[in-house]
């Protein structure tokens, strides 16, 4: 909770103003019954003037009452304005802080939360917390003022009226405690149900083409229906419990009014109180019990808001596991563009099984190193350790002679660019997508990178050229076009180390050959690590690493591996047979 309260501190003055205006508004509401009492008793019934009415008093008091009501209304507007400014700004700050923290979490931490849960937290949970803050600033002050001020005003009229409040208060308190006790655990379940529903929606919107291709609309509709049903059932249980709250409080309120009328009528007959005082007492007890009813609704908001606060606190209190290790020192004279794996082992936290083991490999600056191997042998995992998307389980990875854990993550990733097989494009122009890593790049530099990536020709054929908008996730482009834009983006960044993680899989061999020719000509000094499935894509590399079962089975040139590596020859022969069959 401390991590959430600090965002509220800078708005304390606005919150204080909102509460101050609310106090003034409630004071006006509490003062009105007194004025009405005077109008009835002195102006109409003439209690203190022998039963003679006083029209001038009725008019003057009525005008004062109207002016006070207008002032109270203005105070209410001020309170609502400052409450909303405080709540909206607080929610905005929390939302931005959560998004910033999510952006810095490691892949493992993001996977642990799940995308659906993070979306729910940064949207619905922030809204719930924002509502809680606004209720506490405005509603809590209002209901406590009504309860304390109304009780004091009621007792000042006649102590016997206080006995009715004393009888009603425990009944209301029991009702509130019961409902809050039963609904409090349900709100956490409710938010988790929203997580599950958002996860299903996200998966299906992102994978809609796969769903349609395999004719699985019915299955996904049932899956969504199940998640939605769980959410509805939880909401129904919450609403059932809340349905006990208002009816019970209305019954108690009406019984209290009946009690006031009875006690008041007896005292009016005895001549100890005037009818206007009874009217004022009825208004006060209504304000007191309505304040209690408002307090009950605040407790409901508090329960849900606290559940959301815990979930947001989990995000804000999660420090990124990928931070610079202060105990490690950068190398003083490391050569730029080198990569070294020394006794590296790696296991994903989810299963604990080693994906990589006993990896020892040195990559020279400017070298082109290819990695090939069967699916699932650890190729992508190996290169993901270089920009430190994950930390090694044992051993170490060095960039420029320095352990990657000694680098600031941002500085390390400025030196390393990775281009993935799945090309993630954003809903902006082609130009902006290419310039993602270098927002200040000139048009000439963007075009140069696009030409090297063999993308310039098809981009110029687009309706608006480089200014053509890209649909969400690049769905307005073909797979090969998306890959070439992603490659152009990687090339434009001009990092010292360039990694292609099977990022040319959607390109034909002719286009791919032109790309590698441009790389060797224009990016000769850049260290290039290429993961590929086709031997035709890697055979011209300086060295080729053959991965098998998470370890290096062989390393050498194409000619050397053909002579010494059975695994490499098997891959080569199988691809030749596939081409011959085709």
Q: 53-81: per-residue pLDDT in tens?
A: 777 777 887 888 888 889 888 988 998 89
Could you give the count of Cα atoms lying within 13 Å of 287 in the half-sphere of its Cβ?
26
Q: What is the DSSP letter of 454?
A: T
> 483 and 505 in contact (C-beta within 8 Å)?
yes
Find where tokens 């981009």 sit.
Answer: 459
Ordered DSSP codes for 267-323? HHHHTSS-HHHHHHHHHHHHHHHHHHHHHHHHHHHHHHHHHHHHHHHHHHT---S--
- CB neighbourhood size of 204 (10 A): 17
pLDDT at site 360: 93
Ordered DSSP codes for 414-452? HHEEEE-SS----SSBHHHHHTTS-TT--HHHHHHHHHH
> 486 and 425 in contact (C-beta within 8 Å)?
yes
Gap between the Cα atoms of 531 and 486, Å rounded: 15
- CA distances 108 to 191, 312, 347, 393, Å, are 22, 18, 12, 13
Q: Is 562 exposed, middle or buried (0-12, 13-18, 19+ CB in 10 A)?
A: middle
Residue with the bigger pLDDT between 445 and 423: it is: 445
Strand 368-373, strand 543-548: pairing: parallel
Gap between the Cα atoms of 159 and 164, Å rounded: 10
> 53 and 43 in contact (C-beta within 8 Å)?
yes
The answer for residues whose C-beta is within 8 angstroms of residue 3's C-beta and 6 or more apart is 313, 316, 317
For the ranges 165-174, 193-202, 354-363, 368-377, the lowest mean pLDDT is seen at 165-174
- Is the confidence at residue 581, as pLDDT, over 60? no
- CB neighbourhood size of 70 (10 A): 11
- CB neighbourhood size of 156 (10 A): 13
Q: 171-223: per-residue pLDDT in tens?
A: 777 877 777 777 777 777 887 888 888 888 877 776 776 777 667 788 888 88
> Mapping DSSP to helix (H, G, I), strand (E, B) and coil, where does residue 371 land?
strand
pLDDT at site 371: 92
Gap between the Cα atoms of 69 and 582, Å rounded: 88
pLDDT at site 345: 93
Structure tokens at 239: 């609403």
Q: 522-562: per-residue pLDDT in tens?
A: 888 889 999 988 888 888 889 999 998 889 999 999 999 99
Residues linked to residue 347 through DSSP beta bridges, in sequence order: 354
Determine the average pLDDT of the residues in 12-16: 89
The answer for residues whose C-beta is within 8 angstroms of residue 87's C-beta and 6 or more apart is 130, 131, 133, 134, 137
- CB neighbourhood size of 571 (10 A): 19
pLDDT at site 578: 58
User: ∠ at Cα 229 (223, 231), nearest 5°?
Assistant: 110
- CA distances 54 to 273, 277, 346, Å, are 19, 18, 93
- CA distances 406 to 60, 341, 550, Å, are 80, 15, 25
Closest by CA to 496, choosing from 401, 422, 406, 371, is: 401
For the chain, what percent of residues have pLDDT higher than 70? 93
The domains located in the chain, with CATH, are: 94-316 (1.20.1560.10), 339-581 (3.40.50.300)
Structure tokens at 492: 């434009």
Gap between the Cα atoms of 258 and 265, Å rounded: 10
pLDDT at site 303: 77
pLDDT at site 1: 60
pLDDT band at 494 (very low <50, low <70, confident <90, very high): confident
pLDDT at site 507: 80
Determine the average pLDDT of the residues in 242-247: 74
Alpha helix locations (H) across 39-121?
55-104, 107-113, 115-120
């Amino acid at each position: 909770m401390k991590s959430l309260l600090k965002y509220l501190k800078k708005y304390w003055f606005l919150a204080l103003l909102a509460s101050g205006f609310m106090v003034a508004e409630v004071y006006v509401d509490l003062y009105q019954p007194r004025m009405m009492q005077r109008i009835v008793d002195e102006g109409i019934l003439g209690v203190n003037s022998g039963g003679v009415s006083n029209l001038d008093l009725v008019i003057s008091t009525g005008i004062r009452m109207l002016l006070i009501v207008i002032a109270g209304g203005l105070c209410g507007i001020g309170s609502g304005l400052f409450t909303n400014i405080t709540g909206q700004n607080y929610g905005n700050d929390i939302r931005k802080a959560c998004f910033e923290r999510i952006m810095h979490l490691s892949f493992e931490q993001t996977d642990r939360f799940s995308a659906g849960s993070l979306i729910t937290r940064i949207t619905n949970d922030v809204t719930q917390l924002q509502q809680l803050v606004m209720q506490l600033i405005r509603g809590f002050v209002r209901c406590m003022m009504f309860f304390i001020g109304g009780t004091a005003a009621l007792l000042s009229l006649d102590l016997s009226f206080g006995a009715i409040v004393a009888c009603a208060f425990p009944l209301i308190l029991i009702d509130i405690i019961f409902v809050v006790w039963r609904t409090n655990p349900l709100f956490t379940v409710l938010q988790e149900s929203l997580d599950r529903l958002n996860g299903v929606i996200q998966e299906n919107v992102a994978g809609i083409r796969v769903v349609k291709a395999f004719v699985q609309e019915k299955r996904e509709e049932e899956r969504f229906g199940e998640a939605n049903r769980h959410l509805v059932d939880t909401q129904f249980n919450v609403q059932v419990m809340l349905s006990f709250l208002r009816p019970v409080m209305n019954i108690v309120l009406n019984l209290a009014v009946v009690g006031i009328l009875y006690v008041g009528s007896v005292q009016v007959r005895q001549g100890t109180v005037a009818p206007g005082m009874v009217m004022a007492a009825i208004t006060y007890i209504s304000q007191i019990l309505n304040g209690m009813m408002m307090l009950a609704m605040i407790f409901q908001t508090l329960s849900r808001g606290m559940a959301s606060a815990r979930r947001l606190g989990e995000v804000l209190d999660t420090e990124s596991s990928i931070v610079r290790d202060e105990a490690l020192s950068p190398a003083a004279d490391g050569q730029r563009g080198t990569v070294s794996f020394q006794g590296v082992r790696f296991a994903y936290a989810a299963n604990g099984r080693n994906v990589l083991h006993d990896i020892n490999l040195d990559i020279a600056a400017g070298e082109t190193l290819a990695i090939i191997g069967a699916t699932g042998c650890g190729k992508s995992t190996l290169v993901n350790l270089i920009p430190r998307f994950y930390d090694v389980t044992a051993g170490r990875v060095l960039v420029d002679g320095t352990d990657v854990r000694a680098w600031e993550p941002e500085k390390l990733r400025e030196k390393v660019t990775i281009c993935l097989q799945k090309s993630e494009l954003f809903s902006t122009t082609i130009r902006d997508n290419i310039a993602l890593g270098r927002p200040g790049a000139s048009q000439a530099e963007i075009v140069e990178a696009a030409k090297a990536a063999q993308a310039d020709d098809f981009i110029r054929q687009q309706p608006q050229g480089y200014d053509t908008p890209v649909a969400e996730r690049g769905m307005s482009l073909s797979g090969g076009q998306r890959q070439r834009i992603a490659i152009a983006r990687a090339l434009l960044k001009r990092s010292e180390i360039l990694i292609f993680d099977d990022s040319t899989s959607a390109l034909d061999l002719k286009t791919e050959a032109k790309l590698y020719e441009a790389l060797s000509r224009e990016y000769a000094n850049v260290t290039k690590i290429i993961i590929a499935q086709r031997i035709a894509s890697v055979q011209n590399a300086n060295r080729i690493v053959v991965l098998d079962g998470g370890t290096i089975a062989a390393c050498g040139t194409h000619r050397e591996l053909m002579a010494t590596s059975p695994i490499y020859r098997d891959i080569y022969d199988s691809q030749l047979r596939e081409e011959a069959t085709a």
